[in-house]
Amino acid sequence: MTGRIIKAIAGFYYVHVVGDGTYACRAKGAFRKEKKTPLVGDIVDIEVTHEGDKEGNVVRIHERSCALDRPPVANVDQALIIFAATSPEPNLNLLDRFLIMMEQHDIPVIIGINKIDLVEDDEVARLKAVYEATGYPMIFYSVKEERGMEALRAALEGKLTTVAGPSGVGKSSLINKLQSEVEMEVGDLSAKIERGKQTTRHTELIPVNEETYIFDTPGFSTLFVPEVEPEELGVLFPEFREPSTQCKFRGCAHMAEPGCKVKEAVENGRISPSRYENYRLFYEERKNTKKY
Ligand SMILES: Nc1nc2c(ncn2[C@@H]2O[C@H](COP(=O)(O)OP(=O)(O)O)[C@@H](O)[C@H]2O)c(=O)[nH]1
Ligand SMILES: [Mg+2]
Ligand SMILES: [Zn+2]
The DSSP string of 133-178 is: GG---EEE-BTTTTBSHHHHHHHHTTSEEEEE--TTSSHHHHHHHH
Alpha carbon of 168 to ligand 1 centroid (Å): 6
Would you call the peptide bond into 88 cis, given omega within 30 degrees of 0 as the criterion? yes
The CATH architecture one would assign to domain 78-216 is 3-Layer(aba) Sandwich (3.40)
User: Is the pLDDT at 186 greater than 50, yes or no?
Assistant: no
Amino acid 7 reads: K
Alpha carbon of 188 to ligand 2 centroid (Å): 22
Q: Contact at 8 Å (CB) between 84 and 170? A: yes
Q: Which ligand is nearest to the CA of 113?
A: 1
Alpha carbon of 61 to ligand 2 centroid (Å): 31
Return the percentage of the chain with pLDDT > 70, whole number: 89
**Pocket-testing residue among 81, 116, 173, ligand 1, by greatest number of atoms within 8 A of Cβ:** 173
Same fold, 78-216 and 230-289: no
Q: Contact at 8 Å (CB) between 89 and 169? A: no
CA-nearest residue for atom 9, ligand 1, is: 170
Q: What is the mean pLDDT of residues 95-119?
A: 94
Name the fold adopted by 2-61. OB fold (Dihydrolipoamide Acetyltransferase, E2P) (2.40.50)
119: which DSSP letter? S
pLDDT tens for 268-289 read 999 999 999 999 999 999 888 8
Q: What is the mean pLDDT of residues 80-88?
A: 97
pLDDT of the residue at 20: 92
Residues in the chain: 292
For residue 175, the ligand 1 atom closest to its alpha carbon is 15
CA distances from 221 to 82, 163, 165, 224, 246 (A): 11, 11, 6, 9, 36
pLDDT of the residue at 51: 94
Q: Which helix (H) or strand (E) segment is 61 a member of?
A: strand 55-61
Alpha carbon of 247 to ligand 2 centroid (Å): 43
CA separation for the pair 268, 280 (Å, rounded): 18
- pTM score: 0.90
For residue 87, the ligand 1 atom closest to its alpha carbon is 10
pLDDT of the residue at 182: 60
pLDDT of the residue at 291: 66
Alpha carbon of 80 to ligand 1 centroid (Å): 16
CA-nearest residue for atom 13, ligand 1, is: 170
- Structural domain boundaries in the chain: 2-61, 78-216, 230-289
pLDDT tens for 194-251 read 444 444 467 889 988 888 999 887 655 555 666 788 889 999 999 999 999 999 999 9
- 58-62, 70-74, 156-160: segment of lowest average pLDDT: 70-74
**Residue list, ligand 1 pocket, CB within 6 Å:** 114-115, 117-118, 142-144, 167-173
Alpha carbon of 289 to ligand 3 centroid (Å): 22
Continuous H helices in the chain: 92-104, 121-131, 149-156, 171-186, 190-196, 238-244, 261-267, 273-291
pLDDT of the residue at 187: 40
Would you call the peptide bond into 38 cis, given omega within 30 degrees of 0 as the criterion? no
Q: Contact at 8 Å (CB) between 131 and 111? A: yes
CA-nearest residue for atom 17, ligand 1, is: 170
pLDDT of the residue at 259: 98
68-93 b/e (C-beta count within 10 Å ≥ 16 → b): beebebbbbbbbbbbbbbeeeebebe
pLDDT tens for 5-45 read 999 998 999 999 999 999 999 998 778 788 889 999 999 99
The residue that leads in pLDDT, 98 or 69, is 98
CA separation for the pair 152, 241 (Å, rounded): 28
Continuous H helices in 187-228: 190-196
pLDDT of the residue at 202: 76
230-289 has which CATH code? 1.10.40.50
CA distances from 72 to 94, 102, 239 (A): 22, 15, 30
- The pLDDT-based confidence of 192 (bands split at 50, 70, 90) is very low
Q: Please state whether 242 falls in left (phi above 0), alpha (psi between -120 and 50) or beta.
A: alpha
Q: Which ligand is nearest to the CA of 249?
A: 3
